[in-house]
Structure formats: C-alpha cells, structure tokens
Structure 1
Amino acid sequence: MAEDFERWRDSVSTAFVPLDVVSTGSSLFEGGLCSSTLGAMQLSEVAGCEVDVRRTRATIKRADPGLIKVGLQVTGHGVVAQRDRQAVLAPGDFAVYDTSEPYDLHFGETFSMFVLMFPRDLLRMGSRDLSTVSARRIHGDRGVGALVSPFLAGLRRGLVSDTLPTSPKIEDAVLDLLRAALDDAAPHQGPAATLLMEARSVIENRLGEPNLTTATMAAHLHISTRYLQKLFESDGCTVAGWIRSRRLEKCHRDLVDPRLEQQSIGTICARHGLIDSSSFSKLFKDAYGMSPRAHRATRAP
C-alpha cells in the first residue's frame, strides 16, 4: 500500500532501528513497506523515492540492538555509506552494514530495496573483520555475489508472494552464502586471518564431536595451542568459547524445528557435542535467559 512520507518515515523507523529520514524530492512522495520473518531474520522490501536515511550516534543511543542489515537493490540506484566507504548499488548489487555504527543511505530516484536484518552474532564475524567489509559493493553479476544475489532475490519473491520457506536450514544457507560473499569481497587477508577462517570452518564441521577441544584443533591445524588461542583472542573470544557458542546456536535452532519435535532435548544437544544434559541446560539458560524446555515451548504450533 502506498504511504505518504510521514507515515512511511515512521514505518521504516519502527520496522528497522531508529533512523533520521529526510525527503529530498520536490514531487509528491509515495512509498511502501512489507516485512516478515525467517527464523531470527527479518525480511523486508522497502520502496520510496528521493530520500536520505541516516543512522546517527543519537539514534544509536535511542536503541542499539546489535543488528546487521543486508540491502539488495531491486530497482533504481542507492548509496550505502559507512566507515568512510560508499557502496553505489545498481539492481542486483548488495551491501552489508552494521546498525551499531553510523551509516547513511541515499536514494536519488524512485527505488525499491530488499533488506535482511538479523543479530550480528549470527554472522559469526568479529568486529575487525566486519569493519573491513561493511559498505562494500558486492556485485550481483560476478564472483560469489553472482551466486548470492539470485538467492536473495528468490527470498524477496517469497516475501512479496507470502510463500517464504519455513525450514531453519534456509536461515543457515542464507548466512553461509553471505559469509562466502563477504570473504570474497574482503581485502586481501594475511596468513593469520586465513588460518583463523580455516579453524572456524573445521570447528563448524566437527561440532558433533564431544572431544573437540583447543588441543585437538591445534593438532589438526599443526600449530601450538598457544598460537591457536592467540588467533581467536585477536578477534575477542577463546577457542572453547567459540565452540560452545556455535553448539548452543545449533541447539537453539533445532529445539524449535517442527521436524524434530519427536526428538528429546538430550538427543538434540548430544548431536551437537553437548553430552551432559544438566550442564547443557545451565549453559543454554545463561546464553538465552530461559531453559531449553521453555525455549522449545515457544515453537509456533
């Protein structure tokens, strides 16, 4: 439904995060917004004409939920600016930006943009890595971007037609593809950064092994445990902490997967390497503020 500027501005700030929005056009404004969810992700299509959108330090102070946004240009052209970088987007291009830092969006013509928004922890990138890829244009017709852009466009069609998939696996696929595109777009990484990415990839593939530890990972990578710890600490975490958080995220997802409703909580946590049920319950409650059983009860019927 078309909205006038005042209603559209309020709708955009409510749907996303607090924003300053200014109409820069001289003609009558028309815009629209539709949103839905996919797991922990919010999917939206926003349309309008000739506007500047700003996330300032003042609006960040009003609310900073720690979210990542991915903007796929659908029609028209747009500019995403953050950290002294600008991504000029044509249809099919996309860029990632962090709501915890100031950013600007500029649209000088009629446009529509598909926007994914999700907690930054899901991206599994440290602050340093994220800062190097925010507001970088990812071309929709080359490199890994040529694989990701059609996938995002498919989600956008599902949003518009109210036929979005419901499987939690789709959420994982979206995040995996985004990480691949960001890795491809990042400036050249040094040996330490490359080794850290390899370590994270190995951990992801071996989460189901209860004996996965700092020592076994270091042995697999043929480096010392001290050096492995140093790699992870440079990004603000520990090896054990990373393994634990990834296991908990997998369990958090599976507990509300309707296809797994016949599986016990013990079976689910053991599948991801957490074989001590009582210890798992405490870790889960510390991380998410509720017990695994209570979280499972939130599953939509």
Structure 2
Amino acid sequence: MASTVFSLDDTPVNQRFSHFREVVESFYIPIGLECEHPERFNAWVTGSELGEVSVGTCFLAEQRVSRKPEHIARSEDDRIKLILPLSGAIASHQDGNDVVVRRGEFYITDPTRPYEEQILEDLTFIYLLLPRNHVVSKIDQIEKVTATSFACEQPYARLASDFAHSLSAVGPALEGSKAVQAASVVTDLFTMVLWEHMSQVRTHSTVYRSTLFRRAKAFIDEHLTEPDLSLAKVAAAMGVSSRYLSDLFSEAAFNYRPYVLEQRLLRCAQNLTDPRLAYLAIAEIALQCGFSDNAHFSRAFKAAYGISPREYRACHKI
C-alpha cells in the first residue's frame, strides 16, 4: 500500500515551520498552527493508507494546533484522529475535556468539532485516522471520550496499542484485501476500547445516581417534621443542584411534593391514634409532623382520609 514520507531535512531551518504549515493540510485536515520558536522547528511523517484508515509515525516539535469552525467548514476528511505518543507530551482540549498525554497513553479528537492541542515537549507518536462512521455507530456519545486519556496498560487498550505499533511498521507492505482487513481490525480494536470506557462511565453514573436517590429519599424521611423542608434544601444537603435532583426524581418516577405530603399525613394519622399523644392538640401534632399551616393541614387530611382530623381521632379512640 502507498507509503507517505515527509521530511524537512532538505528545507532551510528558517523556512521549516512556514513550509510545514503550508503542506500540513495534505496530511490531514485544515488546522491553525503556531510556533513560539520556529527557528527550532522540525517535523517528519511516515505513513500508509490502508483502505479507510491512515496509519503512521510522526515527529513534531513544540507548537500549538487549533481546529476552528472556519477550518471545519472547508474540510472533507472527518476521520477520527488517534494519537499514541512514543515520547514527549501533548495537551488536548475538546468538548469541555482536557488531557495531557504521554507515552503509555492515547487519546482521540473528532475533527467535526473545534479542538485545541499543544505539543508541550517534542513529540514522536503513532497516529491513526479511523473512519468516523464506524466509530460513532458504536459510540453514541463520542464527545464523552474525546481529549480523554486511555492507559495502554488496560487489557483491551494494550491489545489495540500493540497492534497499532505493529501496523505502523508493516503498513507499507500490506496491499489489497490484507490492508483492508488490517484497517478493519485496528478500527474495531480501538472502538472496543472506547466502548468499554463508555460502558464503565454509564455503569458508574447509574450506580452514583441510584445511590444519590436513596440518600436523598432517606434525608427527606429524616427531615419530614421540618416545615421548611424543600427540594432546594434536599439538593444542598446532597451537594447537587435543585435541577439535577429534580431530574433524578423524574427519572425514578418519584414525585417529591406528593410524597412529602403523603408521608406527613401518614405520620399525623398515626399520632392522632396514639393514646400516648392524646394530650396533644391536633394543631400541635400537625406542627410536629411538618405542617406550619393548620388550615392547609385540615384540608389535605380530609382530602386524603375522607374525614377531618378531629373526626379521625374520635373514630380511633380506645
């Protein structure tokens, strides 16, 4: 399969960065480049085209990369970029995610949305351009995994990174169906790593939300007697926003206000029939159960039990 070789060795040092900036789009996509020390800049690229996948090894000196809407507007290549450092360090920002990646890790960027990168230390790396349609068909929220570090020590990630190392070396020798098959395998391997990460995130999120719901409900039950109990107070105690808690309750089909009213009325009904509390006025019992408005309590009680609190107490006298 065709092999790409690019080097600045024959370019005068003072022209290397400007020349690289002119030709970089031919290797990937339109991007903005800045370099604080162009006099020290250098770069080289070797790579192969294997069906829909590009794979190779690259060296880049320190620089800043930006992918802006105007770059995206004139792009045709939407393949997912995967960077697997061999030496040096690179920082990436996309979709609200920030990461610094070194040897033993990898990360991806999605060229259909803006991103920024900064090579912090001269970087040698393996790169892969993976077919976006294949990856996003398996990863429904790819923005959750962009600019995110994946450690190559994890089983699936190690398998994928080892294959990428081998593929970058033997890629130029692969042709025809062998190249296409190799491209399919490497795409599937790294997609599997991303999928596993998303699965773990969803599991963690589900466990967290389930635990938070139980904690919030226990807090409500414990503080039912407080007239000023509110959704905002519960949310503050849980360390989340009222909107987040409201969404959590909706997800669990839990209606906060009806539940609080029902539980307070149940406690009132129990206390009204408790002979040990016969000396307490009905208004006092209502107050102890969280009702600060006696008229509201009476209306709510009658709506729930069909009779007034006084009648209920009289019916249950021993």
Which residue is 2:57 aligned to? 45
Which residue is 2:185 aligned to? 173
Structure 2 vs 1, CA of residues 45 and 86 (structure 1 numbering), >3 Å: closer, same or farther? same
Distance in 2, Cα, partners of 1:61 & 1:126: 25
1:116 aligns with 2:125: no
What's the TM-score, normalizing by structure 1?
0.57
1:29 aligns with 2:41: yes
Which residue is 2:202 aligned to? 189
Shift in Å, 1:100: 0.3
Shift in Å, 1:87: 2.4
* 1:23–1:52 Cα contact (<8 Å) kept: yes
Distance in 1, Cα, partners of 2:158 & 2:133: 25
Which residue is 2:8 aligned to? 2
Shift in Å, 1:184: 2.2
Distance in 2, Cα, partners of 1:65 & 1:48: 21
Which residue is 1:163 aligned to? 173
Partner amino acid for 1:189? Answer: R
- C-alpha distance after superposition, 1:59-88 (max 9, x if no partner): 111224322111111221112221111221
Partner amino acid for 2:134? Answer: L
What's the TM-score, normalizing by structure 2?
0.55
Partner amino acid for 1:37? Answer: E
RMSD: 2.4
- C-alpha distance after superposition, 1:16-74 (max 9, x if no partner): 00000111336521111223201111223221211111111111112243221111112
Higher CA-based Rg: 2
Helix, strand or coil at the partner of 2:184: helix
Q: How do 1:56-135 and structure 2 match up within 5 A?
A: 56-125=68-137, 128-135=140-147
Shift in Å, 1:127: 7.1
Q: Structure 1 stretch 76-85 or stretch 19-28: which is displaced more? A: 19-28
Partner amino acid for 2:18? Answer: E
Which residue is 1:257 aligned to? none
Distance in 2, Cα, partners of 1:15 & 1:139: 27
Distance in 2, Cα, partners of 1:80 & 1:103: 7
Distance in 1, Cα, partners of 2:43 & 2:91: 18
1:15 aligns with 2:27: yes
Distance in 2, Cα, partners of 1:45 & 1:10: 20
Q: Which has the higher helix share?
A: 2
Structure 2 vs 1, CA of residues 26 and 9 (structure 1 numbering), >3 Å: closer, same or farther? closer
Structure 1: give runs of 5+ residues left out of the alignment: 194-301
1:148 aligns with 2:129: no
Which residue is 1:246 aligned to? none
* 2:47–2:168 Cα contact (<8 Å) kept: no
Identity among equivalent pairs (%): 21
